[in-house]
Amino acid sequence: MFKRIYFIFLTIIVLASLGFLISCVNKPEKILNSGIYGIITIGPITPVEKVGEINYKPYKTDMIVKSENGLNQVTKFSSGDDGVFKVYLKPGSYTFEQQKTSSPFPILKPIKVEIKENQFTEVNISFDTGIR
């Protein structure tokens, strides 16, 4: 009788412990429902602009997201061939910069963006080719 009670007690302890461990392991991360989206373009693409003609094009590139003060890298992302991008970020203030290359062009000044909770902010980024 004592062995049976001991076995039942031990089984309950093991199952409870196992249930606790599983709940800790499978605990889902908070799903991010905020960030930025938009399109990256580059221009001018010709030295002479004509009225009514588009003088820029979509730009595929790599970008860096840094903390507001620009000291810590938060993440990196790339735009597609069509220049379109979407990045999930926690609410807060960020600085967006171009990935450094050996070429001085194209140029992009750092962009500061405020991300609000449960919102995606549209950010359209324009690189300058330097063509004049």
Q: Residue 98 domain-assigned?
A: yes
Report yes or no on whether pTM surpasses 0.75: no
Q: Residue 68 domain-assigned?
A: yes
Residue 79 lies in domain? 35-128
CB atoms near residue 129 (< 10 Å): 18
Per-residue pLDDT reduced to its tens digit, 21-68: 555 554 445 577 999 999 999 999 999 888 888 899 999 999 999 998
Q: Residue 12 domain-assigned?
A: no
Q: Which of 125, 31, 111 is nearest to 70 (CA)?
A: 111
Q: Residue 14 domain-assigned?
A: no
Q: Residue 83 domain-assigned?
A: yes
Percent of the chain past pLDDT 70, that is, above it, reads 77
Structure tokens at 72: 């810590």
Count of the separate structural domains present in the chain? 1
CATH number at residue 84: 2.60.40.10
Q: Residue 115 domain-assigned?
A: yes
